[in-house]
A and B are shown apart, each in its own frame.
Chain A
Amino acid sequence: MTGILFALIAASGWGSSAVFTKIALEKIDTRLGTIVSLFFSTIVMFTISLATQIDHFSKLKMPDMIWFFAAGVFTFSLGRLLNYTGISFVGVSKSTPLVGTSTLFATIFAILLLGEKPSPLIGIGVLLVTIGIIFITKSK
């Protein structure tokens, strides 16, 4: 039950985040909005991780920073900026499901770059996601 509750909070957190973003971006530039939002997220996340997992910080080495930098560029510099741009241009209802296809891209990259084996279930999933994208982009 605890797991389900946390999963529901996660889903409603991401859902509400998109709506807050849309309201905030009505009056400012998307790039500036993304920078300010990232600033707040960084402060909040560092506070939580320092409060709960401070012992892990001392184990970090300098080369680990390269991994964090790469993750930061793809997830936040690029990912969040494009996500906010999508919300700003086509709205929450159309942008959020499209951004939600990231699992599809993650799977494609895992198959192409990490050599993971695709299964028939993945094929059905890809087909459904593609039809879903068509439905959203064709809707008025």
Chain B
Amino acid sequence: MNKQTESKNILFGYLASLGAACSYGVSANLAKSIVNNVTEPLVATSFALMFGFITLALIYFKQLVNIVKINKKTFLFLFLAGMAGSTGVGCQYYAMKNAPVFIVAPITGSYPLFAMFFSFIFLRKVEKQNFSTLIGALMIILGVTLIILSK
């Protein structure tokens, strides 16, 4: 890969990550309305997941033919990714029920540090960690914690 393509890919990755954050920001406001006016978080998340899956499967239905090419290891890791993410959502809900938000928010908000730690353990060969990224992550976690606590 040449340097220009690599730079474009990195920029695309940053924009996609910030786009995801923006999308999650919209969904947080939707979630607030749903939990206040419609139903319980677990029920809402189940239906939202179903609609998310159907929408994406309809848009990218041509990709589905490649499903037969996925090996067992990849299936296992996709399953684990889905399971771990869902466990996170469920546990956050129970954490909020059992402890005040000023305790739960900083802990759950620190998940990028957990991601960096697991990445350091399991992805050492493919991902480089550096001090600057760690400082950036700590500042984001601190900033996000302040925003949550101000509410």
A binding-site residues for B, Cβ under 8 Å:
2-24, 26-29, 31-42, 44-46, 48-50, 52-53, 56-57, 59-60, 64-65, 67-83, 85-110, 113-114, 119, 121-122, 124-140
Contacts of A92 in B (CB 8 A): 115-116, 118-119, 123, 127
The smallest beta-carbon distance between B70 and chain A, in angstroms, is: 6
By DSSP majority rule, is chain B's interface helix, strand, loop, or mixed? Answer: helix
Instruction: Give the bracket for the number of chain B residues in contact with chain A.
Output: 35 or more
Which residues in B have their C-beta under 8 angstroms from that of A20? 77-78, 80-81, 84
Name which of B57, B77, B82, B122 has the most chain A CB atoms within 10 A of its CB. B82
- Per the bound structure, the CA–CA distance linking A91 and B97 in Å amounts to 33
Q: With A and B bound together, what is the CA distance between A56 and B109 in angstroms?
A: 29
Bound form: Cα–Cα A69–B4 in Å:
39
Tell me whether A59 and B39 are in contact in the complex, defined as CB-CB below 8 angstroms, given that A27-B74, A136-B133 are known contacts: yes
Which residues from A are CB-within-8-Å of B89?
Answer: 10, 45
Contact A23–B109 (Cβ < 8 Å): no
Is B132 engaged at the interface, CB distance under 8 Å to the other chain?
yes
Encoded as 1 (CB less than 8 Å from any A CB) or 0, chain B from 31 to 53 comes to 10110001110111111111111
Q: Which residues of the partner chain B approach A74 to less than 8 Å between Cβ atoms?
A: 23-24, 26-27, 30
Give B29 Cβ to nearest chain A Cβ, in Å.
Answer: 5
Partner of B144 from A2, A21, A125 at Cβ < 8 Å = A125
Q: Which of B82-137 contact A (CB under 8 A)?
A: 82-92, 94-100, 103-104, 107-119, 122-123, 126-127, 129-130, 132-133, 135-137
Which residues on the B side are within 8 Å of A94 (C-beta)?
13-14, 17, 133
Inter-chain pairs besides A7-B95, A60-B39, A92-B119, 18 sampled, C-beta below 8 Å:
A3-B95, A7-B103, A9-B88, A14-B85, A14-B115, A15-B115, A18-B119, A24-B81, A45-B45, A71-B27, A72-B47, A77-B55, A87-B17, A97-B116, A100-B21, A101-B140, A129-B144, A134-B136
Could you write out 10 A-B pairs with CB less than 8 Å apart? A10-B89, A10-B92, A73-B51, A76-B52, A98-B21, A101-B18, A102-B20, A107-B25, A110-B29, A139-B130
